[in-house]
Structure 1
């Protein structure tokens, strides 16, 4: 029953295990589960939960990473490098979306007749073990999921969670424990969000992203409609007992896409700064260290909302989290106190260190809306210039959105663009980073530098920066290591490794 790991399983397909079957495998007696792509954020978080569930967990990745050391400390077996022999003795194999059908360990698993599942299949099983709160959206779902776990914990709930990034305030990206709620980041990039059982849902926003999978914006919107409509399913084979008595669906009112989805589904509660939002946000103060706001509930309660990460988008994320907690019956004031404890997640405006008076921030922004939000969050920087160092992710995205990327980056004082991080795609003729740098110049950027050779990017940036600068590295590829690379070429640098 081997499945393509870059395509979430069709729960109705012939020979495909149902989500309930997967739940039985994961929630039953100990099994040997092998995960391919173990160092990835999504797979490593899943592995941590499987260890807590008592399974013998092994896995492999082509690269070493600190997360592998943490998994080994927790009891997993981690291999650096791929080998067919790694799957010997396994009962079940799970692979990330990056793993292709001809991967040697996948081929070995298929030859041995082992079930090979996607991460979506595994998450679908986990969400049938406990009432689950699914957080989705084009942007902000990682931050909102982490905030949600903190908010509910502060409000007195026992919470399990799985977030697609490191979360210092939670100490780990995933935890199972004895939670009565499971808070899970619901990835829309491959329709994972539709495979999950979901007692309650939060939709942050809805834009045309991952069109290499979805094809059209209409398909993206339809998926989010289905995501909201599927909240609070009553089929006992699909949703465990203990969830809310009614479907709880919360969606953003400020984002046009999310507002459109919300209007299409009955019973959706909205949040945001819009005058007709059910939970009304008002941002009162902004700085590079965070925002202060108030959130007015449908009953008129005014809840102070302090967020210790910058940007109006993060204040809006926090508003959605508190709104959902309130709709679930938790004290919104206590939920807001939990949100105030949030200090960020890995690669979301993450402070990485200083060198010669230059500060380094790393961010996962890889869509024009995210790049614009990250640069807006940095707009309060008073030390000197904002230097935006951007690595495009995927040829198809670069081709489609080059002009929007250029417009978003043009607000920075200095723009540096390296070449495209291919990820799962083959090159497209004529598509490279210069499409974005040229667009930035068209939109008024004065100081734009092309650095197509990723291997020399740190040296290029080191030659540009001066004391007082804030350097923002942005992208979903390997640009996150530029801070450490700069630490190696700048004497006296203090750079933190995630």
Structure 2
């Protein structure tokens, strides 16, 4: 993946989404530095790959940066952001950085009010085990890997798509998986109607296939307005993908059906 800069500085690099982006850049051979208000295990793994990490925010931290990537959690009066603006160093959001990656792959974006981290981790793990070698950026540590992101050499990029600040509207998506829609992030949305409208905008940008939870009435209504292929999943026999005979022991097990046939 080719990008127009070599040296990146992340303001808020300790966040789970930001650290994932930084991992991909380091794996690609780019120079990465970053700052955060406290040390975390996520920062240790970045240091081990060669990132320069600062605890606390200071103007001099961005001296070598060609571009600044910032988290939505960072306030506009942050000294590193203010210094970058003064020096006319480009500023790009976490969502925009993810969109730059996804524009160079076939994007598989997982969105939804609840369950998107788990779903994204499952999708990435299945593709990896099936030898598709996807690039992966997830908002949590994936079981059995100790990682929240990795660079693959396949054509797909699996990423968790964040609806909280509407940044998922920036993504260039081949396939979208939507788990559900609920009233959440009402600091960014005025009501559930605006949330539904924003998800519809996201779905209408999908190029190929939308996979939605068939148990979610809001999603089923939105799907009627889409021109791309739509598949549903859930426990009901009316879904394209159906889970039957769910068994809950130490782990969960179920039989998997597609259009009524066991696969």
TM-score when scaled to structure 1?
Answer: 0.51
Do structure 1's residue 255 and structure 2's residue 216 form an aligned pair? yes
Aligned to 1:161: 136
In 2, Cα distance between equivalents of 1:212 and 1:176: 33
Contact 2:5 2:67 in 1 (8 A): no
Contact 1:30 1:54 in 2 (8 A): no
Could you give the per-residue CA deviations for residues 377-436 of structure 1, whole angstroms, max 9, x where no partner exists? xxxxxxxxxxxxxxxxxxxxxxxxxxxxxxxxxxxxxxxxxxxxxxxxxxxxxxxxxxxx
Aligned to 2:69: 94
Cα 1:264–1:171 shift into 2, 3 Å: same
Do structure 1's residue 183 and structure 2's residue 158 form an aligned pair? yes
The structure with the largest strand share of the pair is 2
Contact 1:201 1:228 in 2 (8 A): yes
Aligned to 2:105: 130
Contact 1:134 1:201 in 2 (8 A): yes
In 2, Cα distance between equivalents of 1:222 and 1:189: 14
In 2, Cα distance between equivalents of 1:218 and 1:176: 37
The structure with the largest helix share of the pair is 1
In 2, Cα distance between equivalents of 1:58 and 1:284: 46
Contact 1:72 1:78 in 2 (8 A): yes
Contact 1:283 1:291 in 2 (8 A): no
Match of 1:170 among 145, 158, 163: 145
Contact 1:132 1:181 in 2 (8 A): yes
Cα 1:160–1:280 shift into 2, 3 Å: same
In 2, Cα distance between equivalents of 1:291 and 1:156: 24
Do structure 1's residue 152 and structure 2's residue 99 form an aligned pair? no
Larger mean CA deviation between 57-66 and 215-224 belongs to 215-224
Do structure 1's residue 270 and structure 2's residue 245 form an aligned pair? no
In 1, Cα distance between equivalents of 2:185 and 2:60: 34
Aligned to 1:79: 54
Matches within 5 A, 1:285-434: 285-287=247-249, 289-298=250-259, 300-303=260-263
Do structure 1's residue 112 and structure 2's residue 87 form an aligned pair? yes
Q: 5+ residue gaps in structure 2?
A: none
Q: What SS does the aligned partner of 1:265 have?
A: coil
Contact 2:5 2:66 in 1 (8 A): no
Contact 2:136 2:152 in 1 (8 A): no
In 1, Cα distance between equivalents of 2:257 and 2:175: 21
Matches within 5 A, 1:45-84: 45-84=20-59
Aligned to 2:117: 142
Deviation at 1:265, TM superposition (A): 2.2
Contact 1:160 1:178 in 2 (8 A): yes
In 2, Cα distance between equivalents of 1:199 and 1:284: 30
Deviation at 1:258, TM superposition (A): 2.3
Q: What SS does the aligned partner of 2:141 have?
A: coil
Q: Which has the higher contact order (CA 8 A, sep 6+)?
A: 2
In 1, Cα distance between equivalents of 2:51 and 2:154: 22
Deviation at 1:301, TM superposition (A): 2.6
Moved over 4 A (4+): none
In 1, Cα distance between equivalents of 2:75 and 2:5: 28
In 2, Cα distance between equivalents of 1:146 and 1:205: 17
Cα 1:262–1:29 shift into 2, 3 Å: closer
Larger mean CA deviation between 174-183 and 142-151 belongs to 174-183
Cα 1:103–1:36 shift into 2, 3 Å: same
Cα 1:228–1:170 shift into 2, 3 Å: farther
Deviation at 1:30, TM superposition (A): 5.7
In 2, Cα distance between equivalents of 1:162 and 1:101: 26
Number of equivalenced pairs: 262
In 2, Cα distance between equivalents of 1:100 and 1:29: 26
Deviation at 1:161, TM superposition (A): 0.4
CA RMSD of aligned residues (A): 1.5
